Each structure stands twice: as structure tokens, then as C-alpha cells.
């Protein structure tokens, strides 16, 4: 399978998943924001010119969460997903989708305002508002992680999605000093050999 990846982006989630599962993959790497990401050939597989995208035979799929669910359903053999008959299954789905639903929107605003926009177009009010919202969203993770190692029992793909989002949030300046459970959780997932292997293809901001 081929993973379209940009170092410094959430496409590291897909590489991390493949590393956790021990599945082989081929990488096509872009520089984030480069003109190649708007080239017609890439827009055929990713109409918005974004990563990650997975190519599996003739099948392409974008959206990191959808890719993770696709790979697990087809090739995971039950790994990284709690059994449907357990209470952890609903918890897993909830935190899996919390990443793109609640954490990444303010993260996106902060990245746009502090990285992508030219200095004269940046707006500190937007950054402050997004940072406040991000800290509130991380507060829910803080409460949930009390007494837990991972989001839904054992390590699951919810940790790949929301764990990664927590890690990015902290790197972007969210204040985790008042969120000890989140800080410990980030440290825990950062120690995973599969994430470290995935990061070899990535920049420190992933």
C-alpha cells in the first residue's frame, strides 16, 4: 500500500498505524504546502490537495480517521479496536473521533495563524480564542485520563488519532502544565516504538 505523507503533518498517524500493525508500506512524501500538493496527478487522489491519502491497489481513500478505520477493518485482524461487546467500544469510537471533531479545529486555526499566513495577515485574537478553546477541549481528555493509561482500555487506534492530536496541541503551545494526565499520556505515547519509527519519516512538529 502507498501512503502519501508530508513530514510535519497528521499523515504520520497512518505511518504510525502501519508500524503498530507491522504492515509494509511505500511512502510518497511531500513538503507541506509545496506546489506538488496542488499538481493535477495528486488532486486526482486528494481533491483538496491534502495528506494523508492511502492507495490500496486501485482504491484511494483520504481522511486520516477513515484511512485508519479502513486499514483496521481490512488488515487489522481485530488489532487496536476493543471488542464490540465491551463498554470500551463506545469509548473507543468517541475518542477516536474527538481528534478531528474537537481537537484539530482549534489546532488548524493556530497553525494557519502562526505558520501559514504572512505576518501582516495574522490575527492574534484568533490565536488566543483558538488556544483557549483548545485548552478547554484538552480539559475533557484530562478528566477522562484520570487513572487510565490509554483512552479505551489497552492501546487502541483512538490513541493514534487523539493521542497524536494531544501531542500536536502541546507542541503548538497548549498549556499542559495544568493538565498532568494529558502530559503523562503524551509522554506515554511518544515512547511507543512504532511512533518513533514513524517519526523517522517526519519532522519534530508531527
Ligand X SMILES: N[C@@H](CCC(=O)N[C@@H](CS)C(=O)NCC(=O)O)C(=O)O
Q: In the stretch 162-191, what mask flags binding to ligand X with x, by CB under 6 A?
A: ------------------------------
- Does residue 100 touch ligand X according to CB under 6 A? yes
By CB under 6 A, name the one of 3, 15, 21, 51 that touches ligand X: 51
User: Do 35 and 41 meet the contact criterion of CB atoms below 8 Å apart?
Assistant: no
Residue 16 — left, alpha, or beta (φ > 0 → left; ψ -120 to 50 → alpha)?
A: alpha
CB of 48 to ligand X, least distance (A): 7
The full length of the chain comes to 206
Write the CA distances from 189 to 26, 125, 165, integer angstroms. 24, 32, 11
- DSSP code of residue 27: E
- Between residue 19 and residue 48, which ones bind ligand X under the rule CB under 6 A? 32-33, 37
User: Do 205 and 27 meet the contact criterion of CB atoms below 8 Å apart?
Assistant: no
Map grid coordinates 464490540 to a residue: 84
CB of 37 to ligand X, least distance (A): 5
Helix (H) or strand (E) run with residue 89 in it: helix 88-98
By CB under 6 A, name the one of 1, 29, 49, 56 that touches ligand X: 49
* Interface segment toward ligand X; rule CB under 6 A; list 58-66, 77-85, 125-133, 146-154: 58-66
- Does residue 102 touch ligand X according to CB under 6 A? no
By CB under 6 A, name the one of 20, 64, 144, 176 that touches ligand X: 64
Report the interface residues with ligand X, using CB under 6 A. Answer: 6, 9-10, 32-33, 37, 49-52, 63-65, 100
Amino acid at each position: 500500500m502507498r501512503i502519501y505523507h508530508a513530514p510535519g503533518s497528521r499523515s504520520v498517524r497512518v505511518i504510525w498505524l502501519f508500524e503498530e500493525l507491522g504492515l509494509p508500506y511505500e511512502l510518497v512524501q511531500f513538503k507541506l504546502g509545496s506546489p506538488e500538493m496542488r499538481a493535477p496527478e495528486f488532486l486526482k487522489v486528494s481533491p483538496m490537495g491534502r495528506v494523508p491519502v492511502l492507495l490500496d491497489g486501485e482504491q484511494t481513500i483520504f481522511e486520516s480517521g477513515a484511512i485508519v478505520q479502513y486499514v483496521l477493518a481490512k488488515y487489522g485482524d481485530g488489532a487496536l479496536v476493543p471488542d464490540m461487546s465491551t463498554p470500551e467500544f463506545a469509548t473507543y469510537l468517541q475518542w477516536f473521533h474527538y481528534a478531528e471533531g474537537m481537537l484539530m479545529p482549534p489546532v488548524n486555526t493556530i497553525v494557519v495563524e502562526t505558520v501559514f499566513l504572512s505576518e501582516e495577515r495574522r490575527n492574534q485574537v484568533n490565536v488566543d480564542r483558538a488556544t483557549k478553546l483548545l485548552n478547554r477541549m484538552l480539559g475533557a481528555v484530562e478528566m477522562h485520563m484520570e487513572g487510565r493509561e490509554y483512552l479505551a482500555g489497552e492501546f487502541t487506534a483512538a490513541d493514534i488519532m487523539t493521542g497524536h492530536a494531544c501531542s500536536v496541541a502541546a507542541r503548538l503551545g497548549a498549556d499542559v502544565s495544568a493538565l498532568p494526565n494529558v502530559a503523562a499520556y503524551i509522554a506515554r505515547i511518544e515512547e511507543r516504538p512504532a511512533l518513533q519509527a514513524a517519526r523517522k519519516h517526519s519532522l519534530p512538529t508531527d
